[in-house]
Structure 1
Amino acid sequence: MPPEVNREPENRIPTGMTVYDSDGQYTRLVVVNHPDESCEEFEVPGTGKTVAEYNEDYDPTGPVVQTVYRFKLDQELDDWMSLPLDDIHSAAQDVGLKTYSYPARRMKSSFSHIPERVGTYRELFCYQWARMTHLSASVNQPERLQDFLLWSNYEKRLDGEITTSSILKENQYQLKENLGVCTYCNQESETTFDHILPVAEGGVSEIKNMVPACQSCNSSKSDRNLLDWHQEHEIPMDRVVLGKYLKLRWDEFEADGELDSPVPDSIRDRWEGLEVSRRITQQIWMNQNR
């Protein structure tokens, strides 16, 4: 019996999304198809080899995505954004565009790439904040509009037109109820509060620096840097956690007069490719509306 491909919604990259290969150079690709076969089953067209045979480190049971270069798609099929998502693949084939097959886990949202124009800590925090807010505002919106919304929010935050509340709304909900879900891994579990910024690094034992976490994640993260831990475990950071983290870091850098200092490459690397989700936010919303 062939292995079951993991098709959970949070692990499936939407068709039509602009992504980049996390193992290669930053080149924008567009996801056009999700083959039903796993990496060890799907044969890359014209090669006689499966996706898994290209690299022994690939998860043989993982899902595959087929992509095309974004710039080629824009050149040869300039109306592709108006097409039904299920038609993009066949339309790309009709105009002779080559598809490239990858393990889905190698693909990262193009918004998780840190643009060159983001050079200071102020700009970095504003960009990540814009990603966080645009995540919910752009649901079911065309990608071109998503891009506009993100940069519009970025500019407004950078110019001070939009400010961060001293008490995030997620904090208020967490004070009222325990969702019974780990904020890090999204698994149902008994939870205890974990410090986003570890106490060992000066983190305070206040709700602004704490989130419910299962025992496994709490122990695993321990005093680790939040970004390093998420990247190592390849877990998207929920916007609840990201919102708190950005507020804490903003206040810290503002107090030290470092917001306009350039971001070192080592710090950019920590943020590069970080995926953001809104799973816990959705659960908070559902609990409110029961």
Structure 2
Amino acid sequence: MSNIGKQYQENVWGLRHVDLQVQPGILGLLGPNGAGKSTLMRLLATISEPSEGTITWNGVGIRENPEEIRRILGYLPQDFGVYPHLSAHEFLNYMAAVKGISGKAAEKRIDELLGLLHLYDVRKRRIGSFSGGMKQRIGIAQALLNDPKLLIIDEPTIGLDPAERLSFRNLLTDLSGERLIIFSTHIVSDIEATADRIAILSKGRLISDSNPGELLRHVQGKVWNVVIPESQLQEARAKWLISATVRREDGLLLRVVSETPPNEQATAVHAGIEDAYLYLSAG
């Protein structure tokens, strides 16, 4: 994609001047709510059209030829709705028909996906009785019905408990390979655990696009541990960029991102993706 922008009103842009090249693997879109992640994914899924710029797939413009990408696309939006009174098998049968897959081919594919996503034993249960993690897996199953080369997933771990989030992250890793998976989140640990490339959005702008190693180099030698009395927390927040806070018996342990040591007692520590994200977003 080149110079992509999406305008909603005069002087109101959801995205502006976004350039991004993609390839097989897992691309994580990282940014706070309102950064433009969902807007970008809707453009890629041909649900919305850009106000400016071009998006191509294998050299073909998707605005002029949206079917070029739709036939190889699997999409799980953040607000994905299910039919609570249908069973898992009934729902996937319905979605297969919508995608033009029918008969024995549909049955075979549905059974494969129910097995892959550990839902085969509950295939006759109504979806309304499923946990959040199970509903997300059903969402992934419908997105995979056509064995897509491009899988787009928007905020997949919202509302999941820690065990479900871990399971979902492992699933994304298992599904990658020759497939391109693009997923968005504002949860840094989800990106850190799965993505081999990370694009950071802020206020509709792409501020970083790199692999995790390159991202960490931005904050190499710039992360410090500092212990302060709890009474000084507000003052510390006003003058330092703090990525984490831990209460201890001797006070508060702060993780500070700074070009120089925050004070004489500061000790250097290894940087993490959260530190790099905070550093680049604050720039």
**TM beyond 0.5:** no
Q: Which has the higher Rg, Structure 1 or Structure 2?
A: 2
- Where on the TM-score scale, by shorter chain, does this alignment land: which range? under 0.3
Q: Identify, as 1 or 2, the structure richer in helix.
A: 1
Which structure is higher in strand share?
Answer: 2
